[in-house]
Chain A
Amino acid sequence: MLDAAELSTHRKRLNRRRMHLAAFLCLLLLFTAFWRLGAGEWDIPLARVLTLLSPLLEESSRTSPEALIIRSVRLPRFLAAVGTGGLLAVAGAVLQGLLTNPLAEPYTLGIAAGAAFGGAIGFLFNSYAVPPMAFAGAMAALWLVSYISSRSGGGASSIVLAGIIANAILSAGVTFLKAIADDRLSAIVLWLMGSLSGASPLAAVSIWVAALILFVPAFLCARQIDAVSLSEGQGTLLGINEKKLRCLLLTVSSLATAAAVSFFGIIGFVGLAVPHLMRNFIGPSTKPLLVFSFLAGGLLLALADGAAQRLGELPVGVITALIGGPFFCWILMSRRHSV
């Protein structure tokens, strides 16, 4: 039998490993921040970046072009990238655990397509209508998915199947809207392709608020998610009201996804791959997984956004999929050997 001492040694080892990884990710994030803030069409040296970011900056130099670039263009864009990537990765981690399905994420569940469809309808009227319409669309998609899955026997596996159906229907809806939008077509297409260029400070703040709205309840329910993800129905046996938990977490995931989609369009892959990647390093326990998914998702999207900008403002979703896809494959295949 193991004694308590052995257990605590094991736990310490695990914690040390996690701390190392966290430090590594934070360091990378810091470097990325300097790169994204300093480099661009107009390179600004690091020391200057730091002075310009200081809240004690004098009034007169706040209006200098350099300060404007850093404070209202590069910083919001960087923060928006980190927030969006983190949000999508956390949404993926939550949904994968909650639905006991490795394929669950906002895109495979049709939530993102619903948000896109709602947002596109809003776009036809007024660009201010996009966020609320996107949320309405995400909730409608979620309702549709739950309805289909409950009618087809319920359970976590049917929900992903229903999500794929909803995704197909809603994507067709988006295509239809594009087709009838005439003069606004290019705007919708551009928005949905997914890009972080032109992220306003308001958008950056909103995305962080949305990320918190998802992260806080998910973190508080982390252990419940663990129990639910163990096996279908296991949460109920451990005293959890699974229906309530699912209702809460699916709603906040939809809200967060809707925010991400309405501001920056469709950015796929982060939500699917990042949680899997992190699970490989730190195990499936939800609480640390949420933190690490947020860090890694934010880092990944910030890097991808930088690359997208360097390559002439490509849609960032293209970059995440092009780099991330093969990388994910490699992880999946190499894992078989390590086990």
Chain B
Amino acid sequence: MLDTYEQETQCMSLYTFSGLCAGYGTKTIIDNISGNIESGRITALIGPNGGGKSTLLRALGGLVDYSGSLELGTREVKNISRRDFGRTVGFLPQTINVKTAFSVYEIISLGRLPFRGILEPMNNYDDKIVLESADLAEVGDLLFRTATELSGGERQRVLLAMILAQQPKLFLLDEPTSALDPNHARCIFSLLRRLVSEGRSVVAAAHDLNSAISFCDDFIALKAGEVIASGPVSMLDGKILHELYGTKFQCYRSKEGNTAWHPE
């Protein structure tokens, strides 16, 4: 069944963009890039700091002004309402400062916000989703803790649980494992793999090159606001990485066939 689904979704474009420029104020960060992101896959945005990963991700989420064309499915991102975004896209920002002392349960419940009417209370179905999401992000035992007392990694997982509760078709994640220990990072990536196998799509800005390579399907390499290379991660080689990060990379292969790249 999975295979038929993959065949259906393969080569189906999630995002198509051409002549895309985006930035903040008068500063252009993404400069005239074109390409597409396929649905039903995990796409990693890789590249050096300040290369435009976050800005591209924010443009995909409709959070920055842009010029050129950027289509999600068949709709121009500019014309999609915030509520529609809230119902279809889960966005995990890079820095998460929880400023108000909500309980973890209350925060995850906020993920149901786009689906509830003004005075409609949480129903059993919402509760069920909240509990499931908490479980998936491994914060089930933190539910009644206060968010401001959590560690950075716990907070990141709580926010992830919140966007899981949105049950979005698409996840936009800005360095989703930046505050996580290796074990939790692996768990989150396996979770993302599972979501993708259910037909969701993930676009993640990744600072950790090797976890990106081992868990993602595609990559887009961004440097100075331009796409240097893109395609399946198997295409990544020393040449691209050298050009991208400005330093030579060495490839290590394990007996199991996993590859890892490290600067020389």
Listed in ascending order, the chain A residues whose CB lies under 8 Å from chain B are: 1-4, 7, 10, 97, 100, 220-221, 223-224, 226-227, 229-234, 236-241, 279, 283-285, 339
Contact = CB atoms under 8 A, between A and B. Distances in A.
B113 A4 contact: no
A245 B58 CA distance: 21
A230 B102 contact: yes
B205 to A, nearest CB: 15
Given A220-B119, A239-B84, A239-B86, A3 B131 contact: yes
Contact of B100 (A220, A221, A229, A339): A229
Contact of B86 (A220, A230, A231, A237): A237
B131 A4 contact: yes
**A-B CB proximity, top 3 nearest:** A239-B86, A239-B114, A239-B83
Nearest to B96: A231
A238 B111 contact: yes
Q: Tell me which of B81, B101, B124, B140 has the highest count of chain A C-beta atoms within 10 A of its own C-beta.
A: B101
A97 B124 CA distance: 27
Interface string B71-114: 00000000001111111000101001111111101110011011
Given A2-B143, A230-B102, A230-B107, A237 B97 contact: no
Given A4-B127, A7-B127, A231-B98, A239 B61 contact: no
Interface in B118-156: 118-119, 124, 127-128, 131, 134-135, 140, 143-144, 146, 149
B99 A220 contact: no
Given A231-B98, A232-B99, A285-B106, 10 more contacts: A4-B124, A4-B128, A4-B131, A7-B143, A231-B96, A237-B61, A237-B63, A239-B85, A283-B103, A284-B100
B239 interface: no
Interface of B: 61, 63, 81-87, 91, 93, 96-103, 105-107, 110-111, 113-114, 116, 118-119, 124, 127-128, 131, 134-135, 140, 143-144, 146, 149, 163, 166
A10 B86 contact: no
8 contacts: A2-B131, A227-B110, A229-B99, A230-B98, A237-B93, A238-B86, A238-B110, A240-B86
Given A236-B63, A238-B86, A240-B86, A285 B131 contact: no
A238 B149 CA distance: 23
B131 A231 contact: no
A97 B82 contact: no
Nearest to A153: B25
Contacts of A283: 101-103, 106
A231 B149 CA distance: 15
Contacts of A100: 99-100
Contacts of A221: 118
B97 A232 contact: yes
Contacts of B63: 233, 236-237
B143 to A, nearest CB: 6
Contacts of B134: 1-2
Contacts of B124: 4
A4 B129 CA distance: 11
Nearest to A101: B99
Contacts of B86: 237-240
Nearest to B128: A4
Contacts of B128: 4
Contacts of A223: 110, 113, 116
A285 B101 CA distance: 9
B102 A7 contact: no
A2 B124 CA distance: 14
